[in-house]
Chain A
């Protein structure tokens, strides 16, 4: 017993020490708990929130693009997508098999879906097909009980309502490329689109809007448990163009697949009422993602459908340039309204012989007649007497040879040659022969169809420096401040009389394109531009007809015109590449376009246009 009590004492001592050790260790636990839960608590609270809450950016709806009357041309479409959530579908292959009876699925789709299902977490929806039509959506919804895990998801995608009919002006949106990521987090959203061409590109920032955000609670696997807060984004601003949708579509249909371009402007305001370049493309394709073959087809098409020929195409103006030459000659006094030039069919200059398009010649003609019949010999002489520098200066006053700052990407300068320019560019002196062929708009001279339309507008509006305008602020068509380009009204009268006679005169080159509807009228000027050299021997044996030449060697057909004649409102330029002749290919198109424009103006008179007209009249009086 004694021994045991000794043992008990020792045990008690040791037990007390053990107890003390335990107490020490437990107080370490308490201390640690205090440190984590009191001292460091706020830091860990933040970390827990960061764990729990994910911010998701919401793409704002892109602003619409509307025509001058507010009709939508580019809007956003509900994009119905079929998605499948693998974890809810049971056997994914079986579900896809059933689904493929409703919407056909290619082998490629199958493989992609199964691959994504393997790679992603089972609750992440996988897109099966995008851009479903209503029929597909309805059939999927009806069969929903047999399609576990298949859902219809609604997104928004850009929709170009009129497709190729207004493709070049609007441009298109497409997926953001690596280079374009600028710091705006929106650009990094999967599926986000930005403007890549046309108005979509230039006005991208206005159209884009402000991104919204959604705060969602997620678990450790990233599954969304619920939405905690949501801040809707700001819809992109609407952009209103000066385009008249009806006219634009009419022209697009008219041109069809011809390699051509047309610009229609309001002669008083410069509003671009229509701008068509054909052939065109469907901008919706870019949005959905172009396949390699489609892209190749667009790029390698010899009619260059991706180019906006109305501003990027540069052409020799041919005879449509004769008004500029005439005005320059009259202003210098090199030629008076009464001056007559005899045309025998050709004129000699040194060793060279310059031909008129009419083999037998026009006989003796004044300027009005020379414009009506497009006599080349008259304008060789007019240019020779005026000099290239004055001709080019006049052309620039009329809006040619420099960009008009329309605001679309790809607008070209054209070219108005001068002596200085040639010395600088080729280090050669200017030749008189070059002045003469410049008189009929050939040689170095280059213009764009937009410049031709503006030239025509400036002639038709009495010599005011109207500039093209594509976008209007809030649709308020306040008349732009315009200055006179300093032409003498009598000179303008001679030129416009000539242009009237081109269509309405007895010997006019475009008399076949005359408008017969009462109250509708037009004036204009044809142009036919050689794209090949006609040799002397060919001229002797007879010039080969355009129809007998390969397409690429046929002449360009041009026409510029305005209407009505007495009180002009619309100016048009038509360029048909390799179309044959201005009178045969371009003038009839211009006639149809100006007729349609005047008809549309009667049925939907825009108040702004009437206002502009009355203002013009008041200015005429003063």
Chain B
């Protein structure tokens, strides 16, 4: 490697950028996605159709898109962070006005050839916008409450729109990822405590005036799944049966009775982890979790090794988002949190989540490639 720390990164050639790419990280992503392909093949009863084949194509396209994002100049993202945010926000509003209902919630918008869920894209857009905002604020300024109002609005507006769709899972993810960024950016602890107390106090209001019936039902079901064994509780009970019956070594690939006999709901999407753990047991579940932990570890280290604050916050935001996907999904299928409809990243069937995650990882790669670039606090990228 010919570069040194004083080397002006923006002048890197494409070849150099590719050389700086975190290839091990990309291999990890491919391995994880392959686990997904295998499980989708099993979910279809030993068939590439209808899920595995399409997922492979999507992942291939997604990883290509990720590579393209990775080699862009990070200052471009810094400069256009708000633009991206407002485009996605506009899409969210469009969903509110013209979107169509799928699976009981108004989440989708048609972009001609394919449909997207703007709320998914918002997970990354919020991270971008917040990273840009906190990048421009000094360690002293962060103490000033008035300066916390804009970032709070950046989070609250889309969160409110997404909750209205209604999509509790995505709202929670956007809000929690944002809290992570606020925290990493250095907002004082007592402020979180204050917001927490206010949040708890307003919970009853939310319960009665904001949450929809089905969301309340899901939370009630979570608290006591056995109360409704054939209704909402059925999913979580069957999921636990599938997991538990898998035991330590599982029932064997393509041999999961709960999944293959359709006792397991949504086995190709939200409950795919259950299927994996039924067929490969505790060993299989831990192996996938280990893959995720390694990815998270690299995400962290990329974020920490960046020499510009935008890159750090962006990397951290993407990593936190990825973590939230993993944690909420697995905790959900094991009955630790309510079923809120969060897919297992890279493994669950679904295009938009894949797009979001690979978009996020594209930015993470970009941070990695530009790790040695220093960007001034006031240098918002408009005039580098």
Contact = CB atoms under 8 A, between A and B. Distances in A.
B45 to A, nearest CB: 11
A4 B320 contact: no
Given A14-B183, A18-B184, A26 B293 contact: yes
Interface string A269-289: 000000000000000000000
A242 B313 CA distance: 99
Interface string A1-19: 1011011101110110111
Contact of B248 (A4, A37, A43, A217): A37
Given A6-B139, A48-B258, A218-B261, A32 B247 contact: no
Main secondary structure of the interface of A (DSSP, over half): helix
Interface string A28-65: 11101110111011011101110110000000000000
Given A7-B186, A11-B184, A41 B377 contact: no
Contact of B262 (A29, A37, A220): A220
B46 to A, nearest CB: 14
B126 interface: no
A231 interface: no
B138 A3 contact: yes
B303 interface: yes
Contacts of A30: 286, 289
A36 B244 contact: yes
B247 A219 contact: no
Contact of B244 (A14, A18, A29, A40): A40
A38 B248 contact: yes
Nearest to B285: A33
Interface string B232-275: 00000010111111111000000001101111000000000000
A18 B312 CA distance: 13
Contacts of B296: 22
A40 B241 CA distance: 10
Interface in A194-243: 217-221, 225
A97 B352 CA distance: 48
Contacts of A38: 247-248, 282
A306 B174 CA distance: 81
A48 B258 CA distance: 7
A12 to B, nearest CB: 6
B354 interface: no
Contact of A11 (B248, B309, B335, B374): B309
B242 A48 contact: yes
A4 B309 contact: yes
Nearest to A43: B244
A36 B334 contact: yes
A18 B241 contact: no
Interface in B309-338: 309, 312-313, 316, 320, 323, 327, 330-331, 334-336
B317 to A, nearest CB: 11
B281 interface: yes
B289 A3 contact: no
Contacts of B240: 36, 44
Contacts of A29: 289, 327, 330-331, 334, 336
A37 B183 contact: no
A14 B186 contact: yes
A93 interface: no
A94 interface: no
A164 B359 CA distance: 84
Contacts of A14: 183-186
B186 to A, nearest CB: 5
Contacts, number: 138
Contacts of A48: 241-242, 244-245, 257-258, 263
Interface string B282-297: 1001100100010010
B261 A41 contact: no
A298 interface: no
A221 B262 CA distance: 8
B283 to A, nearest CB: 9
A10 B243 contact: no
B200 to A, nearest CB: 19
A38 B313 CA distance: 39
A221 B260 CA distance: 12
B336 A32 contact: yes
Contacts of B331: 25, 28-29, 32
Contacts of B285: 33, 37
Given A29-B289, A30-B286, A52-B261, A37 B138 contact: no
Contacts of B330: 29
B244 A219 contact: no
B185 A11 contact: yes
Given A18-B180, A36-B243, A10 B263 contact: no
Interface string A441-485: 000000000000000000000000000000000000000000000
Contacts of A45: 244-245, 247
B287 to A, nearest CB: 11
Interface in B123-176: 138-139
A188 to B, nearest CB: 23
B327 A26 contact: yes
A468 to B, nearest CB: 59
B263 A219 contact: yes
A612 to B, nearest CB: 65
Contacts of A26: 289, 293, 327
A136 B208 CA distance: 65
A8 B323 CA distance: 22
A489 B263 CA distance: 85
Q: Which of A8, A22, A30, A221 has the most CB of B within 10 A?
A: A22
A10 B139 contact: yes
Contacts of A37: 243-244, 246-248, 277, 281-282, 285
Contact of B323 (A22, A32, A33, A43): A22
A1 B307 CA distance: 10
Given A48-B242, A51-B241, A4 B257 contact: no
B304 interface: yes
B80 interface: no
B280 to A, nearest CB: 10
Contacts of A49: 245
A219 B334 contact: no
A15 B282 contact: no
B86 interface: no
Nearest to A41: B247
Given A7-B139, A18-B184, A41 B257 contact: no
B244 A220 contact: no
Nearest to A53: B257
B378 to A, nearest CB: 11
B25 interface: no
Interface in A564-581: none
B312 A11 contact: yes
A14 B313 CA distance: 11
B82 interface: no
B298 interface: no
B309 A8 contact: yes
B323 to A, nearest CB: 5
A36 B248 CA distance: 10
- With most chain A CB atoms within 10 A of its CB, the pick from B241, B258, B303 is B241
19 contacts: A6-B139, A8-B312, A11-B312, A15-B184, A15-B312, A25-B331, A26-B327, A32-B335, A33-B286, A37-B248, A37-B277, A38-B247, A40-B244, A45-B244, A48-B263, A49-B245, A51-B263, A218-B261, A220-B263
Interface of A: 1, 3-4, 6-8, 10-12, 14-15, 17-19, 22, 25-26, 28-30, 32-34, 36-38, 40-41, 43-45, 47-49, 51-52, 217-221, 225
Across the A-B interface, give the 7 residue pairs with the lowest CB-CB distance, nearest first.
A44-B244, A48-B245, A219-B261, A220-B262, A37-B282, A45-B245, A220-B263
Given A18-B180, A33-B289, 5 more contacts: A7-B138, A26-B293, A37-B247, A51-B257, A51-B263
Interface of B: 138-139, 180, 183-186, 238, 240-248, 257-258, 260-263, 277, 281-282, 285-286, 289, 293, 296, 300, 303-304, 309, 312-313, 316, 320, 323, 327, 330-331, 334-336, 374, 377
